[in-house]
């Protein structure tokens, strides 16, 4: 992969921050930067195509609808779903998970029924289910992790019982970088006749994903983490399962016929897409998926794997460095959470992040929306460096030099 060539596609990477040039952007797990092709396609649509999609007889509406439905087909291909009926546009991973939690529990769960999540979940995959706990009295069961941040599959198997209705786990941890063995997790769940939702927010941008090969029942991801616009995401669901779920929200687009006595609902996927969709964002998302597909997800994966390995090696040379998550690079995605010990205690993650920022290096600090995981690790938060296809070894070197500078200040 020609990293320097692709960097030219991202104008923001040439920014000067606090007099430091160029910006070292290592907060990609929170959101990635956008290539020109994405921004330009969206601007072009607003300037030249804009009209509300579906049901419009006029030219622009039909053109906008074609773009929007074409984007759905691009997503279908990207995930290798069987049918575009299985691709529901949402606002992002959070909304996708909430949709499944609410609609699945309404269709299939009663008081005392259980959902299995894991100790490393993002809040969106915890709180969505807790809301159903409050509404319906369902229970959360939690797969524990090892000290190295791996899921305990032996304990996972023990969680199944006659009340288990669904498993909902992350593909890749946004804190530990752990790549979970989701195929195995799905196989075990299916042996118990239980469907699985995979939170793909952190996997989709970094590795090829094939929902048929995984055999997951639901899969969620966000556009903005894969070089696309904010406010758009995807829920993949197997058609027979989606068909059995009630609608999520009521409104236009999701109905067939409405009367005050009785309303019938639209077919998939529109049943889950009430209201005017963000049809410009879907164009942007499709452009982003075209962009990464043209480079090749396997090439992006190899580049980021190399960078992560290099970063772990270089960062481990720093005195007092503590990196969380798996030591084995095969199990560790492009996310590195760390703290640096100095004279018996860790330099506070906020101090580290703020000082790195002054050196022109953007990392994320805090609990990363995973407070239960922080509790398990016995810490309040970490600094997190996360990589994308445009990051380089020189940026890793800048990070290492930056951390060493901060150490000297303490």
Instruction: Indicate whether 303 belongs to the interface with ligand PMP (CB under 6 A).
Output: no
Please report, for residues 85, 87, 90, 222, 268, the alpha-carbon distance to residue 274 in angstroms, rounded to integers and kept in the order given.
Answer: 15, 14, 10, 19, 12
Beta carbon of residue 122, minimum distance to ligand PMP (angstroms, whole number): 4
Which part of the chain contacts ligand PMP (CB under 6 A), choosing from 2-10, 91-99, 206-214, 340-348? 91-99
Burial of 152 (0-12, 13-18, 19+ CB in 10 A): middle
Of 234 and 400, nearer to ligand PMP (C-beta) is 234
Which part of the chain contacts ligand PMP (CB under 6 A), choosing from 45-53, 90-98, 139-147, 185-193? 90-98
Cα separation, 406 vs 337, in Å, equals 16
Strand partners, 164: 114
User: Residue from 222, 308, 337, 386 that binds ligand PMP (CB under 6 A)?
Assistant: 222
- Cα radius of gyration rounded to whole Å, the chain: 22
SS3 content of the chain, % helix, strand, coil (to 5): 45, 20, 35
Instruction: Indicate whether 93 belongs to the interface with ligand PMP (CB under 6 A).
Output: yes
Beta carbon of residue 175, minimum distance to ligand PMP (angstroms, whole number): 8
Structure tokens at 367: 């609990």
Which part of the chain contacts ligand PMP (CB under 6 A), choosing from 78-86, 92-100, 186-194, 255-263? 92-100
Of 325 and 360, nearer to ligand PMP (C-beta) is 325
Q: What is the DSSP letter of 404?
A: H
CA atoms 95, 186, 75, 10: torsion sign: positive
Instruction: Indicate whether 124 belongs to the interface with ligand PMP (CB under 6 A).
Output: yes
Question: Which x/- pattern over 160-199 shows residues binding ligand PMP (rule: CB under 6 A)?
Answer: ----------x---x------------------------x
Beta carbon of residue 27, minimum distance to ligand PMP (angstroms, whole number): 11
Which part of the chain contacts ligand PMP (CB under 6 A), choosing from 64-72, 89-97, 381-389, 402-410? 89-97
| Residue 369 designated active-site | yes
Q: How far apart are the first and last CA of the chain?
A: 39
Which uninterrupted H or E stretch holds 142?
strand 139-143
Structure tokens at 372: 């239960």
Beta carbon of residue 346, minimum distance to ligand PMP (angstroms, whole number): 23
Instruction: Indicate whether 85 belongs to the interface with ligand PMP (CB under 6 A).
Output: no
Instruction: Indicate whether 118 belongs to the interface with ligand PMP (CB under 6 A).
Output: no
Per CB under 6 A, contacts with ligand PMP among 252-271 are none
Of 74 and 124, nearer to ligand PMP (C-beta) is 124
**CB hemisphere CA count around 299 (13 angstroms):** 12
Q: What angle do CA 216, 222, 224 make, to 5 degrees?
A: 155
Instruction: Indicate whether 94 belongs to the interface with ligand PMP (CB under 6 A).
Output: yes
What are the φ/ψ torsions at residue 151 (nearest 5 degrees)?
-70, 140
Beta carbon of residue 373, minimum distance to ligand PMP (angstroms, whole number): 11
Instruction: Indicate whether 119 belongs to the interface with ligand PMP (CB under 6 A).
Output: no
Whether residue 158 is preceded by a cis peptide bond, meaning omega within 30 degrees of 0, is no
Beta carbon of residue 404, minimum distance to ligand PMP (angstroms, whole number): 28
Question: 88-118 burial, b for 16+ CB within 10 Å, e for fewer?
Answer: bbbbbbbbbbbbbbbbbbeeebeeebbbbbb
The number of residues that bind ligand PMP (CB under 6 A) is 12
Per CB under 6 A, contacts with ligand PMP among 353-372 are 369
What are the φ/ψ torsions at residue 36 (nearest 5 degrees)?
-50, -40
User: Residue from 102, 105, 168, 202 that binds ligand PMP (CB under 6 A)?
Assistant: 202
Beta carbon of residue 42, minimum distance to ligand PMP (angstroms, whole number): 18
Q: What is the DSSP string of 331-382?
A: GB-SEEEEEEEETTEEPPHHHHHHHHHHTTEE-EEE-TT-HHHHHHHT-S-E
Of 234 and 340, nearer to ligand PMP (C-beta) is 234
Residues with catalytic roles: 369
Using CB under 6 A, list all residues that contact ligand PMP.
92-94, 122, 124, 170, 174, 199, 201-202, 222, 369
């Amino acid at each position: 992969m020609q990293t320097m060539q692709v960097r030219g596609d991202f104008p923001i990477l040439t920014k000067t921050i606090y007099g430091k040039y160029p910006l070292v952007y290592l907060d990609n797990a929170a959101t990635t930067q956008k290539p020109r092709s994405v921004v330009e396609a969206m601007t072009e649509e607003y300037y030249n195509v804009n009209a509300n999609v579906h049901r419009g007889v006029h030219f622009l509406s039909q053109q906008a609808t074609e773009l929007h439905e074409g984007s759905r087909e691009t997503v279908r291909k990207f995930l290798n779903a069987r049918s575009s009926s299985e691709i529901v546009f949402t606002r992002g991973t959070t909304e996708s998970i909430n949709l499944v939690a609410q609609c699945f529990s309404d269709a299939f769960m009663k008081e005392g029924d259980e959902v299995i999540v894991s100790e490393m979940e993002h809040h969106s995959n915890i709180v969505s289910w807790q809301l159903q706990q409050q509404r319906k009295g369902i229970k959360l069961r939690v797969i524990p992790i090892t000290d190295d941040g791996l899921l305990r599959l032996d304990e996972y198997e023990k969680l199944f019982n006659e009340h288990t209705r669904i498993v909902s786990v992350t593909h890749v941890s946004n804190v530990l970088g752990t790549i979970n063995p989701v195929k195995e997790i799905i196989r075990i769940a299916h042996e118990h006749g239980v469907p699985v939702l995979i939170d793909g927010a952190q996997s989709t941008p970094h590795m090829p994903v094939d929902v048929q090969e995984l055999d997951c029942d639901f899969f969620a991801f966000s556009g903005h983490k894969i070089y696309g616009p904010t406010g758009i995401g995807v829920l993949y669901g197997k058609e027979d399962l989606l068909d059995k779920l009630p609608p999520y929200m009521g409104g236009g687009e999701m109905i067939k016929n409405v009367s005050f006595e009785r309303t019938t609902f639209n077919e998939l996927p529109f049943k889950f897409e009430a209201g005017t969709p963000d049809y410009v964002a879907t164009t942007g998302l499709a452009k982003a998926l075209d962009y990464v597909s043209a480079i090749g997800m396997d090439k992006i994966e190899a580049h980021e794997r190399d960078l992560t390995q290099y970063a772990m090696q270089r960062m481990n040379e720093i005195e007092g460095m503590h990196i969380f998550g798996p030591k084995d690079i095969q199990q560790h995605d492009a996310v590195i959470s760390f703290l640096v010990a100095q004279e018996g205690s860790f330099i506070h993650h906020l101090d580290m992040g703020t000082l790195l920022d002054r050196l022109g290096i953007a990392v994320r600090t805090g609990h990363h929306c995973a407070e239960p995981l922080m509790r398990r690790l016995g810490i309040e938060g970490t600094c997190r460096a996360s990589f994308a296809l445009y990051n380089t070894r020189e940026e890793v070197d800048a990070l290492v030099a930056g951390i060493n500078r901060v150490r000297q200040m303490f």
